[in-house]
């Protein structure tokens, strides 16, 4: 399209047009400078928010006190509440950052609507960066809320319950080794009768396999095509959450394992099977209710609670009730009594002090058993504690 030339009536009219053009040019330069200032402001907010990332600090708040949490329960609830207060303070700071980011985001969106095409593209990139930063802050908030929820769950328990149920990985390992050893000893010393057929088998008929995850014990028949007439599967389950301690009860996370086991298979109507699930921290009421209401069939499911020394199953089924006693663990009271007896033997042999971690390693028992035995000795007036706060490497029992 050809443009028609402009004609001015006089020099004054031409001067007016040139003045208007200069003002438009000056306005464009001001807008460009304002955009640059806003971009620098966004960078400053991004750097400030990055420096405030709380992920590592949150974990350090938890890890810094976890050893004292295990060994010494005095004052534990106040320490957790203090940590929760610190988390809430950190959360307030993050929320302020988030509000500032949202305000800056709205400001940029407003500027985009007023800008030219090329400026829209530049500000769109800045807006995308702000969105990514906002998502990062939201993730930090979710992490804070998750850890606060964990602390609230712990504080809902009394200190005695926390002390009795809190386990380390080493504690869980010792419990598994002790229980598997007990089961192998029982199985190899007992004959068994198939509750479906009445067939009797001697103790030498067992075929036992053991791994880190569990034990399988079965009695088979047939030379070419073997078929198990009796089969026990014993599995040890350790609930461990992300903060590094073992505390919660096992529940719905084993429902798929149980439903898969009780499905009909090709084992035959004369084959009996049992699934034995063992937890060092106990079972939720929900899963106990489901297991104890399983209908009668040629399979049984048992839930073994090592923390309370109990076994749950469908006692209304005679077959299930028949084998319940096979899987009962040694009671906590018996283990503590045995540990106290060993400590007294050590005193008789000339020992005057015992350190918790060394005793647990020497006798291959969970730490909580050692601590319970220490407390019993102290309560009986036979010794006193020396705590890490007083210079000991670990909790110590000094005999009087």
Same domain, 88 and 134: yes
DSSP string, 100-142: HHHHHHHHHHHHHHHS-HHHHHHHHHHHHHHHHHHHHHHHHHH
Handedness of CA 362, 365, 368, 371 (dihedral sign): negative
Same domain, 290 and 179: yes
- CB burial of residue 292 (10 Å; 0-12, 13-18, 19+): middle
Q: What is the DSSP letter of 250?
A: B
- Are 353 and 333 in contact by the 8 Å Cβ rule? The answer is no
Q: Which of 126, 156, 186 is the last residue of a domain?
A: 156
- pLDDT, residue 14, reads 54
Residues 31-60: b if buried by 16+ CB within 10 A, e if exposed: eeeebeebeeebeebbeebeeeebeeebee
Same domain, 222 and 146: no
Q: Which residue has the tokens 């109507």?
A: 269
Same domain, 318 and 338: no
How far apart (Å, rounded) are the C-alpha atoms in residues 150 and 90?
17
Same domain, 204 and 351: no
Q: Of the candidates 115, 170, 169, 129, which has an alpha carbon nearest to the alpha carbon of residue 41?
A: 129
Same domain, 152 and 204: no
Domain count, the chain: 3
Same domain, 323 and 343: no
Determine phi and psi for 272, rounding to 5 degrees.
Answer: -110, 135
Residue 282, phi-psi category: left (phi > 0), alpha (psi -120 to 50), beta (remainder): left
How far apart (Å, rounded) are the C-alpha atoms in residues 88 and 320?
50
CATH number at residue 385: 1.10.10.10
Same domain, 300 and 342: no
Q: Which domain holds residue 348?
A: 333-399
Angle of the 117-155 helix axis to the 76-114 helix axis, nearest 10: 170
How far apart (Å, rounded) are the C-alpha atoms in residues 359 and 341?
13
Same domain, 317 and 177: yes
Residue 5 covered by a domain:
no
Same domain, 38 and 174: no
Instruction: Tell me how far the alpha carbon of residue 132 is from its chain's centroid.
Output: 28
- pLDDT, residue 3, reads 46
DSSP tally for the chain: helices H, then strands E: 13, 11
Q: Where are the beta strands (DSSP E) in 162-286?
A: 192-193, 200-201, 207-210, 214-221, 227-236, 272-279
Residue 6 covered by a domain:
no
- pLDDT, residue 80, reads 64
Same domain, 72 and 191: no
How far apart (Å, rounded) are the C-alpha atoms in residues 186 and 36?
79
Q: Which of 278, 307, 329 is the last residue of a domain?
A: 329
> pTM above the 0.75 mark?
no
Q: Which of 156, 180, 196 is the last residue of a domain?
A: 156
Per-residue pLDDT 10s for the chain (400 aa) are 444 444 445 555 555 556 656 666 666 666 667 667 666 765 665 565 555 554 555 455 555 555 555 555 555 566 667 777 777 787 787 778 778 878 887 887 777 766 665 666 777 777 777 777 777 777 777 777 777 776 676 666 555 555 556 777 888 888 888 899 888 888 888 889 898 888 999 888 999 998 888 899 999 876 666 778 899 999 999 886 655 667 778 888 899 999 999 887 655 678 899 999 999 888 999 999 999 988 878 899 999 998 888 999 988 888 898 898 889 887 778 888 989 999 999 999 999 999 998 998 888 777 888 999 999 999 999 899 999 888 888 999 999 7
Residue 297 covered by a domain:
yes
């Amino acid at each position: 399209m050809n443009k028609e030339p402009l004609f001015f009536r006089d020099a004054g009219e031409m001067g007016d047009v040139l003045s208007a053009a200069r003002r438009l040019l000056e306005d464009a330069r001001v807008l460009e400078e304002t955009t640059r200032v806003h971009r620098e402001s966004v960078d400053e907010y991004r750097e400030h928010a990055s420096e405030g990332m709380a992920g590592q600090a949150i974990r350090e708040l938890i890890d810094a006190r976890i050893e004292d949490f295990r060994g010494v329960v005095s004052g534990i609830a106040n320490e957790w509440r203090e940590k929760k207060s610190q988390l809430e303070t950190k959360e307030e700071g993050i929320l302020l950052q988030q509000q500032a980011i949202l305000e800056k985001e709205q400001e940029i969106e407003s500027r985009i609507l007023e800008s030219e095409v090329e400026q829209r593209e530049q500000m769109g990139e800045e807006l995308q960066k702000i969105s990514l930063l906002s998502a990062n802050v939201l993730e930090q908030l979710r992490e804070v809320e998750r850890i606060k929820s964990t602390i609230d769950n712990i504080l809902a328990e009394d200190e005695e319950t926390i002390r009795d149920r809190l386990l380390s990985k080493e504690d869980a390992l010792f419990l598994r080794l002790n229980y598997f050893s007990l089961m192998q000893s029982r199985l190899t010393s007992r004959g068994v009768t198939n509750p479906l057929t009445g067939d009797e088998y001697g103790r030498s008929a067992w075929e036992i396999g053991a791994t880190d995850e569990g034990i399988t014990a079965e009695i088979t028949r047939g030379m070419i095509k073997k078929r198990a007439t009796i089969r026990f599967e014993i599995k040890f389950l350790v609930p461990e959450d992300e903060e590094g301690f073992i505390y919660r009860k096992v529940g719905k996370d084993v429902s798929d394992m149980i439903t898969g086991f009780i499905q009909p298979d090709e084992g035959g109507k004369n084959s009996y099977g049992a699934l034995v699930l063992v937890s060092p921290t106990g079972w939720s009421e929900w899963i106990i209710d489901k297991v104890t209401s399983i209908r009668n069939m040629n399979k049984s499911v048992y839930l073994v609670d090592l923390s309370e020394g109990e076994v749950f199953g469908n006692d209304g089924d005679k077959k299930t009730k028949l084998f319940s006693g096979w899987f009962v663990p040694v009671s906590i009271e018996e283990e503590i009594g045995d540990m106290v007896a060993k400590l007294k033997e050590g005193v008789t042999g000339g020992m005057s002090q015992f350190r918790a971690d060394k005793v647990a390693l020497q006798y291959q028992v969970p730490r909580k058993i050692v601590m319970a035995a220490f407390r019993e000795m102290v309560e009986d007036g036979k010794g006193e504690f020396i705590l890490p706060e007083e210079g000991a490497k670990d909790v110590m029992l000094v005999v009087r």
